[in-house]
Structure 1
């Protein structure tokens, strides 16, 4: 089971979260990736934690002020990236270009989508993984695996029908080991979460609880 912790722009200590993630991952033989702000990629990568960019821009080298160049994310320690998170939506053509940028930089890719139909469209672009995240559940603490388990199963089926090699992750409201276990039971091979760890008083304890079913 793959765990991706998106720190968004929350007022947490990205290095402390990454250190906790690296420790818990080593203790449980689980892959726990951390996606910090772009400015914190190098510091997070230096902890030894698997490091993802929150986004890379659909551009090459050139006049692109304000963009996050995939090659620079990789140079600062990122090994993967999110694309098309509900808080950073892109048109389909830009998602495709973002995947091309990530491929140039040898970054693994997770494309987020709202529903099974969008999951199918995203899977057709050839990412490493897709993540189903109904936006109305993000940050609520109510996991999609409980609120709408059919959407997870349907997303898994949709991706399988398009490209069986694309992994499907479950996001929105994930925070506990029960949530992770439920996501796996529905066919997901990973989870995407944010506030459950980034806003936790003790991120290490939150991560330990999350991956307890995998111990």
Structure 2
């Protein structure tokens, strides 16, 4: 089971969370990765944890002020990237461009989507994975697998109908081991979460609780 922790712009210690994630990943059956702010990618990667960028821009080297260049994040130690998170929505053409940028540096990719229809559209662009995340549940502590399990089932079916090689992750409201197990039972290959770990007083304990039932 893949667990991707998005640190967003929360006021946490990214190295502390990354160190905990690396230890939990090494001692469990889960593969835990961290997506910190771009400025923290290098120090997070130095912990040995699998490190992802929160975004890469759909452009190459050149006059692109304010962009997040895929090559720069790769040089800092990232090996994957999130795209189209509900807090950083992209046009379809830009998602496609960002996937091309990620491919240049051999990144793993996950494209976020709100529902099964968007999952299908995202899967058609050829990412490694799609993550279904109803935006109204993000940060609520109520997982989509509990609020509406059919959203996850439909997302799994939608992705498979387009490209069976595209994994499906379950996001929004994931915070406990029960949530992770429920997502797995609904057909998800991984989970995407944020506040349940990034805001925890003890990130390692929170991560251990997440993966313990697996």
TM-score range, shorter chain: over 0.9
Query: Number of matched residues?
Result: 214
Deviation at 1:188, TM superposition (A): 0.2
Deviation at 1:156, TM superposition (A): 0.1
Aligned to 1:195: 195
| 3-state SS of paired residue (1:201) | coil
Whole-angstrom CA distance in 1 between matches of 2:70 and 2:29: 28
**Is 2:116 the partner of 1:112?**
no
Deviation at 1:213, TM superposition (A): 1.4
Alignment of 1:1-215 (within 5 A): 1-214=1-214
Whole-angstrom CA distance in 1 between matches of 2:24 and 2:163: 32
Unaligned runs of 5+ in 1: none
- Greater than 3 Å deviation, 4+ residue runs: none
Over the residues paired in the alignment, what is the CA RMSD in angstroms? 0.4
Whole-angstrom CA distance in 2 between matches of 1:25 and 1:33: 8
Whole-angstrom CA distance in 2 between matches of 1:112 and 1:11: 23
Alignment TM-score, normalising by the size of structure 1: 0.99
Whole-angstrom CA distance in 2 between matches of 1:91 and 1:19: 35
| 3-state SS of paired residue (2:213) | helix
Whole-angstrom CA distance in 2 between matches of 1:43 and 1:149: 37
Whole-angstrom CA distance in 2 between matches of 1:129 and 1:75: 23
Deviation at 1:10, TM superposition (A): 0.2
| 3-state SS of paired residue (1:213) | coil
Deviation at 1:29, TM superposition (A): 3.5
User: Deviation digits for residues 10-41 of structure 1, max 9, x if unmatched?
Assistant: 00000000000000000103210000000000
Whole-angstrom CA distance in 1 between matches of 2:192 and 2:89: 16
Whole-angstrom CA distance in 1 between matches of 2:87 and 2:30: 27
Unaligned runs of 5+ in 2: none
